[in-house]
Chains A and B, each alone.
Chain A
């Protein structure tokens, strides 16, 4: 729609509320045209971050640049951002068209030009013909799309989405997600999504920042975060993991031999700072654990007994008691290779799937 997309650069942002520090020195750089997600549990400061960027809150420290302009001190109405709220925040006393046209009116766009732009925006969110309705006459998903149209019609430099899908039911959320993914390609607006939903973050984003307690724990592409989490928090937040702590043996060429009680010793890329005799933690995703019948145990496999089974439809989660540990494994729910509670199984993995994590 607009000109060349702008990037966002937030530098050592700080926001305190009384004695608590909600945002504690955040550095985030969003590239022009990028779909960037801030992901974290509730209370991690992600919404505060979004409000700082939007200009709803004033930072206690740090700076915000959008494109070339330093907007740290700019009021919210001068930032040219599109903001989509969790509860949509549509003006209930205005029609859909008036809602979408509000930003244009504030920008003193001539009346004659507003109509076509409103129509185009509504078309973009597939709501053509709904201009005369009131927000209260629309479904949750439609209201969501009006909010989106209202935000993009002003051709913002930056689109901010605050948990936009959390008020929708599961089916609708899936639809809206794929619609957002579509829009992202068509519009090319630099977008920041704030969410606690991993699926939402991973399916939409070019890059994701994981936040905890006011700080950014890790920034990276979704696969990068999943495969190589920086620490145990990120690893655990992105899904269930097997987390093993063992003792470092010999280190050679950046690869460490780590001894795990009850399991076999594994070769793991050494983290900087690991020394022989140190404690080391590695993680392994459940879907990377292979289960076979105990009788067919290969070399290096650990034999154990299945003590919990949970069917998830297309997947099955197993918990295996082996080597004095509880190992989590996940397998596709095929017709073959199923196991039952109490079955003796062999657990195998490839050392290449192990990721070392900082504590």
Chain B
């Protein structure tokens, strides 16, 4: 019985990771046609990739957008989580619901809303608007990660610091923040990962001037297929998998599991 289950799970794992593995595999094909199985190894498509300015631009945009929004979301997320945990304001549950709503509200819905709203206020296609949208999208991950971090710490250490003469800002800076470092790093990386993978909202609202890597791939794949795409995709997979492994080591993936 157990063996049957193991066999089933091996097949299941093969199924769920197949497209990811295949993309990486294909990116090393030397010919224009997808050869199965791969006959020889080539980095040709990677070389070609670096001559596509459009993809380089997109990669830079994705990187910039990811870093800025992750940084902003981690900062806002820490403040918000601190306020929720230590302040227990009236309606804390509703506030947490609001901060994590982007997890539940479909990306298509938010994408449409941002498309229409940025047009209304004259910010369509503006980079700050895109950053704001990405911060909103990744904020739930920052808030959840840092909430867990702060709740695990308990208030006693801050009380101890304050009883020894520290003002709140000193207690937060000297005690709370250093002890949340792991959570902060996790939140930052998590936010970057989510921003880096975001397609839908960006596609709806960013306009032609701001095509992130996933959006560029989306537009390109809709037209035609060539192994250059596999090379870009393989790079995206590499970044994502590396981040997931680091986050797993940091124990941060529980923020999704809840």
Hey, which bits of chain A sit against chain B, CB under 8 A? 54-56, 75-83, 85, 87, 89-93, 102-103, 106-107, 150-151, 154
Instruction: Kindly list chain B residues whose C-beta atoms are within 8 Å of the C-beta of A150.
Output: 160, 164
Cα of A89 to Cα of B171 in the assembled complex, Å: 13
Q: How far is the CA of A107 from the CA of B170 in the complex (A)?
A: 12
Smallest CB separation, A298 vs chain B (Å): 58
CA distance A89 to B158 in the complex (A): 9
- Is B159 engaged at the interface, CB distance under 8 Å to the other chain? yes
B219 CB to closest chain A CB, in angstroms? Answer: 48
Separation of A104 and B163 alpha carbons in the complex (Å):
12
A83 lies within 8 A of B179 (CB): no
1/0 contact trace for B173-195 toward A, CB 8 Å?
Answer: 01100110000000000000000
B166 at the interface (CB under 8 A from A): yes
Determine if B166 and A83 form an interchain contact, defined as CB atoms under 8 angstroms apart: no
Of the residues A56, A87, A93, A106, contact of B164 by C-beta under 8 Å:
A106
Instruction: Please indicate the chain A residues that have their CB under 8 angstroms from the CB of B162 in the complex.
Output: 75-77
Is the CB–CB distance between B163 and A54 below 8 Å?
Answer: yes
Chain B: interface secondary structure? helix
Bound-state CA distance A80–B159 (Å) is 13
A91/B160 in contact, CB under 8 A: yes
Q: Hey, which chain B residues are within 8 Å of A80, CB to CB?
A: 165
List the 4 closest pairs (A to B, CB-CB), nearest first. A103-B164, A106-B165, A83-B163, A89-B160
Contact status B165-A107, CB under 8 Å: yes
A77:B165 contact, CB within 8 angstroms: yes
List 8 interface pairs A-B (beta carbons < 8 Å), by A numbering.
A54-B159, A77-B167, A91-B161, A91-B179, A106-B165, A106-B166, A106-B170, A150-B160
> Please, which residue of chain B has its CB at the minimum distance from the CB of A56?
B159
- In Å, the complex CA distance between A103 and B167 comes to 11
* A76 touching B170, Cβ below 8 Å: no
Alpha-carbon gap, A193 to B219, bound state (A): 70
A87–B167 Cα gap in the complex (Å)?
22
B156 located at the interface, meaning its Cβ lies under 8 Å from any Cβ of chain A in the complex: yes
* Complexed CA–CA distance, A54 and B156 (Å): 12
In the bound complex, CA of A103 to CA of B179 (Å):
18
Q: Are A87 and B179 in contact (CB under 8 A)?
A: no
Q: How far is the CB of A87 from the nearest CB of chain B, in Å?
A: 6
Instruction: Say whether B225 faces chain A, with CB atoms less than 8 Å apart.
Output: no
Known contacts A76-B159, A77-B166; 7 additional CB pairs below 8 A are: A77-B163, A83-B159, A85-B160, A89-B156, A89-B157, A89-B160, A102-B174
Alpha-carbon distance between A333 and B27 when the two chains are bound, in angstroms? 86
